[in-house]
Structure 1
Amino acid sequence: MKRILIPTDFSEVATNAFVYALELAKIIDAEIIVLHTFQMPIIDYQYFPENYKQLFDSFELATFEKFKDEIPKLRDLAEKRNLGHINLYHKLMDGDLISNIKECVVEEKIDFVVMGTAGASGWKEFFIGTKTGDAISSVSVPLLSVPLKAQYRTIRYICFTTRFRDKDIKALQSVLQIAKLTQAEVKCLYVQSLASDVKDEKIEAWKKLFANEQVSFFVHTSEYVKETIIDFIDIHEIDVLAMANYKRSFFEELFVTHLTEKISYKSNIPVLVIQE
């Protein structure tokens, strides 16, 4: 059985992402591990020589109590969505969030990570210097990032952006596996600029390779790569944007620059990052 990891701080953002984790678990027949991390406060023990341990014990107990109180709410949410049959496991860890995620991915044999982000107004924080942004560049399994305002709906169309690199083939195969389970169509988009060096023969070879798959290939010629992707999402009513884990600068340029206002409407769709 596959396993999904969802880190949570029990915020609205994280709870919304939990809904997607539940639905993904139903689709791929997976169980969910809910991870909550906390970090002990840094205190100069020289000034608290006698009650230092008591202070930390109290902090850890308070964290545990909060964790214990919040877990039933997640179970109730699953029941309300008729997904109470999905196995939920819970993990409370001390330490840095990203380090704990990476550790869990290995130790718990995680297949997917699902995390929340703040939506259009939070794209900059999401991709630059935040926990989710850090996770994108460091976690070794596919990561689904879910905006706060995203409302789960049946996945009909997935857009996979590519530059027809050989290593993108594996990423597209992973997306197609998910698409088959959701009976979704994958629309593979390549934005060809004047600087592009992809030959027509390469594109035709991909079409032949995936001839028996539910995927369509689109080649749009434009010098405005990011704008073209955003327009494609809008015109084709894309439900999930999927892409290989390019350099972080690509994400920054795509979601943080002057395009922020333009994507505010469509930023409510999840982004699936496939690790290279």
Structure 2
Amino acid sequence: MKKILVPCDFSPCCENALRFAIELAGKCRAEVIILTILRLPEKLSDTKDLYLYRKQAKSGFEKIKKIYQLPIRIRHEITVGKILPEILGCITRKNINLVVMGTKGSRGWEQVFMGSNTEKVVRASPVPVLSIKGLTAVGLIKNIVIPCDLRHHQYEFIEKVKFLQKTFQARLHLLRINTDVRIKTSTLESRLQEYVVHYGLGDTTCNVRFEDDEREGIVHFVKEMNADMIAMSTHGNLDAGHLFATSIAADVVNHANIPVWTCAVNKKLAEPAPPIAGKRASTNKLLSSKLTIP
């Protein structure tokens, strides 16, 4: 991992993510790119506000320079535009490997619109996104929950999970939420063991829980295990017209109280999981300032 992107307006929520990203970059010897996005003024008379916001962003960056004295490279870029397109554009231009974002989340599962900007990035990003809620530290990540769909063609995702495990020196807890009472727990436990062997996973536990709602099942298990992070695959979709589609990963990001790492998986590359006995198949313009901290 060479480049970490942190969209940041220097609010407390974003600064929590920035702190985590800087610590992670120090551990991985990566570069941190802080991206501040200013909205285009609706009226020409509002242009002066744009310069004011830019000044505030530069001031926020200067504060970061004084606080963090780490041997990593940090750059600050200020752009003007819409949040999602600017973030996706930066990912492409800068060859970003990971996006770290702060999120506040919400209380209810259902939302008229998709919710936070973090959720939008989770749904659309072609690279992993680490969503940070609250203040945490890299050294505290020791137990990572992996909600598992039992597919045997997710090599890219699993390799990234292994890197995640190595980086944090953590234990993995594979989790299968069973929403079908006709499927025996023992059957799913066997499938999870096969999954571990198939991908050569180490320091891993296998867990099956019955729950009517998969999202609630994941959150409940995380609390039960007192886990430190959730890692999930998601079907990345860069088409803004699909941003309102159901996404369990985005919902979990919005409601979990711990960091959530999500990784986009190309649907065309992931084959369906084998059928389970007893379950019927369903038919169906850039301003920038740079800093190298010695």
TM bucket, shorter chain: 0.7 to 0.9
Matching residue within 121, 124, 136 for 1:151: 136
Distance in 2 separating the partners of 1:71 and 1:204: 48
Q: 1:200 to 1:117 in 2, by over 3 A?
A: closer
Alpha-carbon distance between aligned partners in 1 of 2:150 and 2:2, rounded to the nearest angstrom: 29
In structure 2, do the counterparts of structure 1 residues 111 and 124 end up closer, same or farther at CA, with 3 Å as the change threshold? Answer: farther
Higher helix share goes to which structure? Answer: 1
Q: What amino acid sits opposite 2:136 in the alignment? A: Q
Q: Partner residue of 1:248?
A: 246
- Deviation, structure 1 residue 107: 0.5
2:199 counterpart of 1:210? yes
Q: Could you say which residue in structure 2 is the equivalent of 1:101?
A: 87
- Cα contact 1:146–1:270 (8 A) shared by 2: yes
Measured against aligned partners, the alpha-carbon deviations of 1:130-177 in whole angstroms (never above 9, x if no partner) come to 311111111110001111x34325211100101112354432321221
Aligned to 1:46: none
Amino acid at match of 1:271: V
The AA in structure 2 aligned to 1:8 is C
Q: 1:120 to 1:64 in 2, by over 3 A?
A: closer
Deviation at 1:8, TM superposition (A): 0.7
Extract unaligned runs of 5+ from structure 2: 236-244, 266-294
**Is residue 134 of structure 2 the alignment partner of residue 136 of structure 1?**
no
Instruction: Encode CA deviations 1:160-209: one digit per residue, 9 max, x unaligned.
Output: 10111235443232122111122111111112232769877754432212
Q: Per the alignment, do residues 154 and 177 of structure 1 end up closer, same or farther by CA in structure 2, a change over 3 Å counting?
A: same
Conserved in 1, the CA contact under 8 Å of 2:105 and 2:116? no
User: What corresponds to 1:220 in structure 2?
Assistant: 209
For residues 252 and 210 of structure 1, the distance between their equivalents in structure 2, rounded to whole angstroms, comes to 25
Partner SS state of residue 268, structure 1: coil
Check the 8 A contact 2:146/2:172 in 1, yes or no. Answer: yes
Q: What is the number of residues matched between the two proteins?
A: 251
2:167 aligned with 1:177, yes or no? no
User: Secondary structure in 1 aligned to 2:177?
Assistant: strand
* Larger relative contact order (Cα-Cα within 8 Å, sequence gap ≥ 6): 2
Aligned partner of 1:72 in structure 2 is: 62
> For residues 123 and 15 of structure 1, what CA distance do their matches in structure 2 show?
26
Which residue is 1:49 aligned to? none
- Say whether the 8 Å CA contact 1:240–1:272 is kept in structure 2: yes
Q: Which runs of 5+ in 1 are unaligned?
A: 44-51, 261-266
Structure 2 distance, partners of 1:142, 1:40, is 28
TM-score by length of structure 1 reads 0.79
Query: Identity over aligned residues, as a percent?
Result: 25
Shift of 1:86: 1.7
The equivalences for 1:254-265 within 5 A come to none
Looking at structure 2, the residues matched to 271 and 236 of structure 1 have their Cα atoms a distance apart, in angstroms, of: 15
Separation (CA, whole Å) in 2 of partners of 1:37 and 1:254: 25
SS in 1 for 2:42: coil
Secondary structure at the counterpart of residue 140 of structure 2: coil
Structure 1 residues 202 and 170, CA gap change in structure 2 (3 angstroms): farther
